[in-house]
């Protein structure tokens, strides 16, 4: 009987052990740590927007104003559009601060024609900005996937000018590329780890420069004029960010 009891107890122990084995707690799984978002990356994108500015012309030595129907000064409030792209790199060196460098270029048409009556004639002056380019540094303050930033650097502008009169006495053309400076600010939002959208304002200052107007109707007649210009531009852009390492 003792043997029977011992056998039953052993069987019970085996049953309990097997049941306990089935109820054993599985080992803890390692937690997946998602790294915080960072603006550190290189990027490229496109942008488009509208611009406006001022072009002030002054006859430098009196050649243009000495012609029949000529004029000595003209002031234009230019307006238009620009479409282009940008490429750059950012580095987030602290939890909230970002520094970077960017190159941008845009083409379009920011222009205006003014007509005004002069003694015995009607004169016309037109200014057209064909492209803008810049190399800028920028510093930003990040709120996770949002960033506000300021930027500044060197700028290049390409312009065309035309002046003529109704009577057909003169027909001047001129082109120039001019180096100046730019400063601006913007806000950018990364709506995915790779894609962001930005809204940006930039001011361009190109100072005053003497531009040589050449008459295409009278051979050898050139008129140097001083032109002062500033441009302001508001653009909306999209960037693709190339990142290394794990997905953010």
Radius of gyration for the alpha carbons in the chain, expressed in angstroms and rounded: 34
pLDDT of the residue at 168: 86
In a domain, 18, yes or no: no
CA 76/CA 54 separation, integer angstroms:
6
User: For residue 133, what are the β-bridge partners?
Assistant: 105, 156
Pairing of strands 41-59, 73-92: antiparallel
CA 167/CA 69 separation, integer angstroms:
8
Give per-residue pLDDT as tens, 119-165.
888 999 999 999 999 999 999 999 999 999 999 999 999 999 999 98
In a domain, 143, yes or no: yes
What single string gives the DSSP state of each residue in 90-118?
A: EEE-SSSEEEEEEEEEEEEEEEEEEEEEE
Neighbours of 103 (CB within 10 A): 14
User: Which position has the higher pLDDT, 76 or 27?
Assistant: 76
Question: Contact 79/110 with Cβ under 8 angstroms?
Answer: yes
Domain count, the chain: 1
Segments forming the whole domain that contains residue 147 = 38-242
Provide the CATH number for the domain around residue 222.
Answer: 2.40.160.20
In a domain, 45, yes or no: yes
**pTM for this one?**
0.83
Give per-residue pLDDT as tens, 176-205.
999 999 999 999 999 999 999 999 999 999
Question: Contact 147/187 with Cβ under 8 angstroms?
Answer: yes
In a domain, 1, yes or no: no
In a domain, 61, yes or no: yes
In a domain, 17, yes or no: no
pLDDT of the residue at 143: 94
CA 109/CA 242 separation, integer angstroms:
32
In a domain, 155, yes or no: yes
In a domain, 9, yes or no: no
């Amino acid at each position: 009987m003792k043997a029977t009891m011992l056998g039953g107890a052993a069987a019970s122990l085996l049953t309990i052990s097997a049941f306990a084995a089935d109820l054993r707690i599985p080992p803890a799984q390692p937690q997946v740590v998602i790294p915080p978002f960072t603006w550190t990356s290189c990027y490229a994108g496109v942008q488009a927007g509208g611009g406006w500015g001022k072009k002030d012309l002054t006859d430098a030595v009196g050649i243009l104003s000495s012609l029949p129907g000529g004029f000595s000064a003209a002031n234009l409030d230019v307006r238009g559009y620009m479409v282009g792209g940008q490429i750059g790199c950012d580095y987030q060196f602290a939890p909230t601060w970002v520094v970077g460098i960017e190159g941008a270029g845009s083409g379009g048409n920011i222009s205006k024609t003014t007509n005004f009556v002069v003694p015995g004639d009607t004169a016309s002056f037109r200014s057209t900005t064909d492209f803008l380019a810049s190399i800028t540094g920028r510093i930003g303050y990040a709120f996770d996937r949002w960033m506000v930033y300021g930027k500044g650097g060197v700028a290049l502008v390409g312009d065309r000018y035309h002046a003529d009169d109704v009577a057909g006495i003169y027909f001047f053309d001129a082109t120039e590329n001019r180096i100046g400076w730019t400063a601006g600010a913007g806000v950018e939002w990364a709506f995915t780890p790779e894609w962001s959208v930005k809204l940006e304002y930039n001011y361009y200052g190109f100072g005053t420069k003497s531009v040589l107007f050449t008459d295409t109707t009278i051979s050898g007649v050139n008129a140097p004029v001083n032109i002062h210009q500033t441009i302001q531009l508001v653009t909306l852009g999209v960037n693709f960010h190339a990142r290394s390492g794990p997905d953010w």
